[in-house]
Structure 1
Amino acid sequence: MSAKPIAEPLAPPASTSVSQSRIVVAAVIGNLLEFFDFTVYSFFALTIAQLFFPADDPVVSTLLALSAFAIGFVARPVGGFVLGRYADRRGRRAALTLTIFLMAIGSALIGFAPTYAAIGLAAPALIVFARLLQGFAQGGEFGAATATLLETGMAESRALRASWQLASQGAAALLGSGMAALLNYYLSRAQMLDWGWRVPFVVRILIMPVGVYLRRHIVEEPPAARKSETAGLDRALVGKWFLTVFAIMGMTVATYVLIYYIPTYLIQYLKLPARLSMLVSIGAAFASLTLCPIWGALSDRMQRRKPLIVTGRLVLVALLYPAFWLMNQFPALPVVLGLIVLLMFFYTMGSAPAYALLPENFPKHVRAGYLGSAYAVAVSVFGGTAQLVVAWLIKVTGNTMAPAWYMIACVIISLYAITKLEETGGRELA
């Protein structure tokens, strides 16, 4: 079937532009808050391990804490299917408002949870339950938020808007790593163990009304006006769903290793101080936040998605092993920070345009459901376990280069999946 060129858009009235801007801001800030909720746990993994998962071997304790982090991803596919379908049937705003409430409840459970010393095994059980609730909410967030960004506004800026999905994740990581760095800098170890680690979770509860208020501004077509779903499964869409899962595989593994696991890696294996290690995550998150919109805008200008995605991922594969080798040979902050930012440059090139390509491969009436569930499965199977897998690989092999090899394998597989999806740049949305 021949590609349909983008029709010349009419200039929207000023009021419409303002309304669209509010919708984009609401989706981005709400998404930022939700990803902050879900991922800030990883920046305090070592502290949470000591308080909730005590063990004689600190590495085993860390593995248990990372297992609880990974458990949060188990509920993501369920949330992706249930809340994604809810978003397609009832509307994007309804789903996005629900997810922000559920995520806040999960944060409250973690932020006020008694420790193992206080209530024994009930403490880690409570953390696991909170992670499951957060995972369910996060599973529904991605599809609805990305669909909202893609569908709102002018056709020629779709990739720029969709790239803010990934940029907002970078902003969430920046907020989380920045808060962790400040707390580690100003508080003693005893204060961190006593109450400092709870601060991010409590702060998130306090700012929940901001996210709810912003998402009330999302105005969309009535759900009844959407095309009804056809009976049965469309084989072409199911095939794209599987390709989407593997296309996301490389992105999510790289995200959780390069941004979220890297402080733990630097502290445990390169022996950098915690205060300095958090600065590396801040640098990685800042690179993601600033570079994603640039690559999205360039993709719109090119009216193509795949050239940037393929180039970025190929160069990332080539750089991963040398970068981790240099980190291990020269474990100093300037070297490590520079290498991580370099990797993030090509990671964002290969990822930001994909946040337009993937949802553009699905029609609107099933977009949130298919995309959300595919993303949830990919992140659950590969992203949520990434930190646990690389930590386990290092332990069993004794090789600190294991994270590089694991990321290389995942990015190569995801690159192949990308080549099998349709090029959607410059086409009308289905």
Structure 2
Amino acid sequence: MSPSAVAPGSQPGPAPAPPSVDERKRRRLALVGGSLGNLVEWYDWFVYASFAIYFADSFFPGDNPTTQLMNTAGIFAVGFLMRPVGGWILGRAADRHGRKSALTLTVTMMSVAALLIAVAPTYGQAGYFGALVLLLARLLQGMSIGGEYAASATYLTEASARNRRGLGSSFQYVSMTCGQLLGLGILITMQHTLTTAQLESWGWRIPFVLGALFAVVVFWLRRRLQETDAFQEEAASGEDAHDDSTRGTLKALWQYRRQAGLVMALTLGGTVAYYTYTTYLTKYLVGSAGMPKTTATLVSFTALTLFAVLQPFAGMLSDRIGRRPLLITFAVGCTVGTYPIMTALGSASSYWSALGLSLLALVIITGYTSINAAVKAELFPTRVRALGVALPYAIANALFGGTAEYVALWFKNSGHETMFFWYVSGCALISLVTYVLMPDTRDAALSRAEAGADADRAGDRGDAAAAPAEAVR
């Protein structure tokens, strides 16, 4: 979708006819299948960060806990380097062979990676070979999650009714957050049933075994999904052999390089803020605020639960007022609010004060998380949509989201922790400029059928301009 094709502040067309019973069932299955698979994918991805405080010294011996965490955070960040590779390979597969096949492949890869971590030998058993196994597993996870984001974002957006895309796509971060909550819930349960010594010795392996088992169930569920109408329409469109051969390729994506640049810029602030207040939050409360591990974990769990509940409401709001107002609200709040919020969190002395500040930050971030999947999908035509969402998003995450925790710990270790707060604000400011300048994408046509309906309505009104062909080409 060309950004210029959607006028800022444009009003939505007439409400479509109510879907049939079969259509509603198909959309519910799509929502469940896409969301549950995404949940398991992100559970496996985030559980590494959640349990790092218990297995860091098993792979990186030493007397400095911050250095140990930096080593495990470094491997966490390296996983992000494979996300562009996964986004390219699996995004191309989703555009050429369908969203369903890509979704099935990503969850298989994640299951294998989780098993590798579960059986990785410790430093005492095999020296740094265990750290190498961790590294290989995270590279595989990074490749998987790079494709998962694009496939699920595209699938959930395309499978939703046109006037409910914001709501439908919001479930990507609902399921993503629920995956993290599942990991934190298991961590809290194990903290209350196992001793710290048991957790550090063998207990940390349990969540990775569970993740591999969860993935088997999701594999079966995703095999039952139906392909989206937009992709089926594109595959059956009868385009010439040249256009078909370039579908989902970098050559095709180059035609939409401006949209790809928009995806990177609008992702920058959101991904840094998200990882700051999710994966890094627990470590920050423990290492900087001096909060007990169990209390810090409970703060994260409660805040993320409420954060997940907020996502659909923000998504529905974007379906009514557009995407840009929410994105701008997030960027302004993050730019001016990060320093005071993080400073206050660093001196939080109780569960309730830490929870209140964490919730404030996550409410601000909701303006980005609830709708970013829809915005990115609405920028591209069907034949390159998955790759267009995947590759630039993965690059932005590799450079900024995946390194956020490492950068935070580096500043802390160097004695300049507050510089990280300004770093987060600066990233949000760059995205703010992007949100202000870009058009709203709410009314984008994602298929020829939608473009045709727009053209018919334009003709009925006697408008000179019908739906632009570039939107669905």
TM-score range normalised by the length of the shorter chain = over 0.9
Normalised TM-score (structure 2): 0.87
> Structure 1 counterpart of 2:236, which letter?
A
Match of 1:330, SS state, is coil
- The equivalent of 2:458 in structure 1 is none
Which shows bigger deviation, 103-112 or 414-423?
A: 414-423
Question: Quick check: 1:258–1:284 contact (8 Å CA) kept in 2?
Answer: no
1:253 counterpart residue number: 272
Deviation per CA, 1:257-316: give whole Å up to 9, x if none. 1011111111112111110010121123213211111100011122x1101110122123
Give me the whole-angstrom Cα distance separating, in 2, the residues matched to 1:321 and 1:207. 38
SS at match of 2:80: coil
1:200 and 2:207 are equivalent in the alignment: yes
Asked whether the 8 Å contact 1:243–1:420 carries over to 2, the reply is no
What's the counterpart of residue 195 of structure 2? 188
SS in 2 for 1:132: helix
* Number of the residue aligned with 1:104: 111
Answer whether contact 1:107 1:201 (CA < 8 A) is retained: yes
Aligned to 1:265: 284
The secondary structure found in structure 2 opposite 1:10 is coil
Alignment partner of 2:437 out of 399, 420, 427: 420
1:376 aligns with 2:383: no
Larger Rg: 2
- Give the root-mean-square deviation of aligned CA atoms: 1.8
Separation in structure 2 between the aligned mates of residue 427 and residue 241 of structure 1, nearest angstrom: 16
Q: Counterparts of 1:153 and 1:76 in 2: how far apart (Å)? A: 26
Alignment of 1:269-284 (within 5 A): 269-284=288-303
Give the Å deviation of 1:255.
1.5
Identify if the C-alpha distance between structure 1 residues 263 and 330 changes in structure 2 by more than 3 Å, giving closer, same or farther: closer
> Helix, strand or coil for the counterpart of 2:441?
coil
Does residue 65 of the first structure (1) align with residue 89 of the second (2)?
no
AA of the residue aligned to 2:317? L
Equivalences for residues 211-222 of structure 1 within 5 A: 211-220=218-227, 221=229, 222=232
- Residue 233 of structure 1, CA deviation: 4.8
Query: Do 1:163 and 1:296's aligned partners in 2 also have CA atoms closer than 8 Å?
Result: yes
1:173 corresponding residue in structure 2:
180
What's the offset of the Cα at 1:421? 2.9
> Which residue among 236, 240, 243 is the counterpart of 1:225?
236
Give the equivalent residue in structure 2 for 1:20.
27
Check the 8 A contact 1:184/1:274 in 2, yes or no: no
Q: 325, 332, 341: which is aligned to 2:343? A: 325
Q: Which amino acid aligns with 1:312?
A: F
Task: Say if 2:115 and 2:208, in contact at 8 Å, map to a contact too.
Answer: yes
- SS at 1:73 equivalent: helix
Correspondence for 1:76: 83
Per-residue CA distance 1:185-208 (angstroms, 9 max, x = gap):
221111101221111101111222
**How far does residue 365 in structure 1 lie from its aligned partner after superposition?**
1.2
Q: For residue 449 of structure 2, what is the aligned residue in structure 1? A: none
| 2:154 and 2:373 in contact (8 A); partners too | no
CA–CA distance in structure 1, aligned partners of residues 437 and 263 of structure 2: 10
- Residues 87-120 of structure 1 show CA distances to partners (whole Å, capped at 9, x for unaligned) of 0000011000000000000000001111110011
- 8 Å CA contact 1:159–1:299 kept in 2: the answer is yes
3-state DSSP class of the match of 2:121?
coil
Query: Match of 2:150, as an amino acid?
Result: G
Aligned-residue identity in percent? 34
User: Given the superposition, is the C-alpha separation of residues 216 and 333 from structure 1 closer, same or farther in structure 2, using an over 3 Å criterion?
Assistant: same
> Is 1:106–1:133's contact at 8 Å kept on the other side of the alignment?
yes
Q: Tell me which residue corresponds to 2:95.
A: 88
Residue in 2 that maps onto 1:209: 216
What's the counterpart of residue 120 of structure 1?
127
Identify the residue that residue 381 of structure 2 maps to in structure 1.
Answer: 363
The structural deviation recorded for 1:48 is: 2.1
Check whether the contact 1:34–1:103 (CA below 8 A) recurs between aligned residues.
yes
| Equivalent pair of 1:51/1:193 in contact (CA under 8 Å) | yes
Matches of 1:209 and 1:129, distance apart in 2: 21
Decide which moves more: 223-232 or 171-180. 223-232
Deviates more, 1:125-134 or 1:258-267: 258-267
Q: 2:212, 2:298 → 1: CA distance?
A: 25
Amino acid at match of 1:197: W
- Of 231-240 and 99-108, the range deviating more from structure 2: 231-240
One-letter amino acid of the counterpart of residue 241, structure 1:
A
CA contact (8 A) 1:257 1:403 kept: no
Unaligned runs of 5+ in 1: none
Contact 2:154 2:385 in 1 (8 A): yes
Corresponding residue to 2:367 among 326, 349, 370: 349
Amino acid at match of 2:273: A
SS at 1:72 equivalent: helix
Distance, in Å, in 2 between the alignment partners of 1:8 and 1:384 is 40
Letter in 2 for 1:309: L
- Other structure's SS at 2:171 match: helix
Aligned residue pairs total 428
1:234 is displaced (CA, Å) by 6.1
**Per-residue displacement from partner, 1:96-145 (whole Å, max 9, x unpaired)?**
00000000000000011111100112110010000001101111111111
Distance, in Å, in 2 between the alignment partners of 1:193 and 1:224 is 51
Give the deviation of 1:49 after TM superposition. Answer: 1.3
TM-score by length of 1: 0.95
